[in-house]
Structure 1
Amino acid sequence: MKSSSNHVWRILARLRGNARRAAMLFSGRRERACHNLNRLPPGQRPQDILAVLLLTVGVAVVVFDVPTYPWLRSLPGVYRSAFRAFTDFGKADWILISTGVTCLALLALDAGRYAFRLRMTVGAIFTYAAFIFYSVAATGLLAIAFKWTLGRARPKLYSEVGPVRFDFLAFDGTYTSFPSGHSTTVAALATALAFIFPAYRWLIVVAAFWLAFSRVMVGAHYPSDVIAGTLLGISFTFFTVRAMARRRIGFHISSSGKIEPNMNARSAKACLRAVWQVLRGQRGARRVSVEPAAPEETGRIDT
């Protein structure tokens, strides 16, 4: 019993130590960030994104929101059933649980004793999992704040109050339509994955589009709710990854001004190969320590 208790305390101490070192790593990049204070190009500045948000959401409210609900009611029920089957993949709980548990598990490891490729793997997985967790959690909290403050009526109240009814600070679940929380989560996750896996960017974008659009098809949100949530998730995650790239934490800004992951495809394959070899017992996980050779092996005789 005493040995198991000591083991738990050692793990907790390792968690605290690794978390402290990770915090020092993030906070010690301020000087490096000062060298990357290049201005954002037009179209990526906060005021430009706000202008796009106001324009697209306003157009969607006028053009798409009014005819959407009657159009959905005219569709066969099988359409809604099909989209209802996968719309819950846009919930934040499974994303936060998986990435949060991953970060805690990696913090509990004594990664310093691992070989180089394994240490690189642990560092990359922790950085990208923490990035996804932060982006999804922060945008989710922002979406909740906007929902309960603005108080837009959900589509199921279309027949009673219409598509543009707002009841500020109503604190009623039926008045939490704007913006779409699912769409915010999907957009944040998709943006993060698109930066981590740039080769699969378009596949990620298409999958995210259908997940976000499913909120309209199941009658939970208006198109403007989905557009607002999508822009919120994309914008916040973009500024997060840019702040990380300026500090070379998980990402970096290339000579052409693009944000690229620090671990390229070649390094990722080498790390996966090393992990696979360790799992199969083909190589050891511990780092090799070079010990000084004995006098007999060097050919020298001490006098």
Structure 2
Amino acid sequence: MNRPLASTGWILVTTLVLVLAFIPFDPVLSTRAQALPETIVAFNRMITDFGTFGWMIYLSGLVLAVAFILRRAVRQAPLQRRVRTVRNLAAYFFLTIGTASVLVHALKFLIGRARPELLVDLGAYSLTPFTGDNLFESFPSGHSTAAGAFFGVFAILLPKLRWFFFALALVIGISRVIVGAHYPSDVAAGLLLGLWTSLMVAFLFAKRGWLFHADEGGWPIPKRSGSRP
């Protein structure tokens, strides 16, 4: 197996460690987060839906479609190259976010963890798989997965700002605990699932020479703006 691909197993290991670390404290942390001052809770209600898949998928899909149309209409090579870059960027976002959405919803359905609003009735560790009921789709957090994928793409494309984008994803994830939609372990799993997806799609693109090239160690590195997309 390719060494960089194999070494991304650290994301899986980190996910497992964080989930296992948070699980014993999920009820206490969730309850305390929801009991924060109303101004903090209100702010988090305002920002939390930034982590929805819908607008991300539709926007990147629209840009992708427009880029395909423009490339067919454009004849001049330099402009074609720019349009191709826009197309590949949109495709990277679209495939990353779309794949993350499929994965997280499959896991939600298979695991069936009850949400924090059922804490009193069922406890924090109730699993009812295959229901398709939103109340039993707490793990992993979908919003956190979307944020991890979206900001993970930016972090890979703009590595100098990596920690800034990681922080933004974390803010969205924490908001899901504060508004009472998820437990901390749900958020940890979602953020890392989204990040892992963005990295895997980057490996796929680097293999095809789209947006990225592989460095000496095989890791996907963004191409310079002047290079061929």
Give your verdict on TM over 0.5.
yes
Question: Deviation per CA, 1:163-220, whole angstroms, max 9, x where unpaired?
Answer: 1111122222211100000011111111111122223222211111111111111111
Secondary structure of residue in 2 paired with 1:252: strand
- What is the match of residue 40 of structure 1? 4
Structure 1 CA distance for aligned equivalents of residues 8 and 106 of structure 2: 24
Q: How far did 1:41 drift?
A: 7.2
Aligned length: 227
- What is the match of residue 59 of structure 1? 21
Structure 1 CA distance for aligned equivalents of residues 179 and 131 of structure 2: 24
Moved more, 248-257 or 99-108: 248-257
Higher-RCO chain (CA-CA 8 Å, sequence separation at least 6): 2
Structure 2 CA distance for aligned equivalents of residues 51 and 199 of structure 1: 25
- What is the match of residue 129 of structure 2? 168
Alignment of 1:111-190 (within 5 A): 111=72, 113-190=74-151
Q: How far did 1:73 drift?
A: 4.0
Overall identity of the aligned pairs, in %:
31
When the two chains are superposed, the root-mean-square deviation of aligned CA atoms in Å is: 2.0
2:198 pairs with 1:237:
yes
Q: How far did 1:112 drift?
A: 6.5
2:226 pairs with 1:262:
no
Secondary structure of residue in 2 paired with 1:85: helix
2:161 pairs with 1:197:
no
Secondary structure of residue in 2 paired with 1:109: helix
State whether residues 170 and 191 of structure 2, in contact with CA within 8 Å, keep that contact through their aligned partners in structure 1. Answer: no
Q: Which runs of 5+ in 1 are unaligned?
A: 1-36, 269-303
Secondary structure of residue in 1 paired with 2:213: strand
Q: How far did 1:125 drift?
A: 0.8
State whether residues 124 and 263 of structure 1, in contact with CA within 8 Å, keep that contact through their aligned partners in structure 2. Answer: no
Secondary structure of residue in 2 paired with 1:221: coil
Q: 1:40 is aligned with what amino acid?
A: P
Pick closer, same or farther for the CA change 1:202–1:55 going to 2, 3 Å.
Answer: closer
> Structure 2 length normalisation: TM-score?
0.91
State whether residues 3 and 218 of structure 2, in contact with CA within 8 Å, keep that contact through their aligned partners in structure 1. Answer: no
Structure 1 CA distance for aligned equivalents of residues 75 and 205 of structure 2: 26
- What is the match of residue 69 of structure 1? 30
- What is the match of residue 70 of structure 2? 109
Secondary structure of residue in 2 paired with 1:40: helix
User: Which protein shows a greater Rg?
Assistant: 1
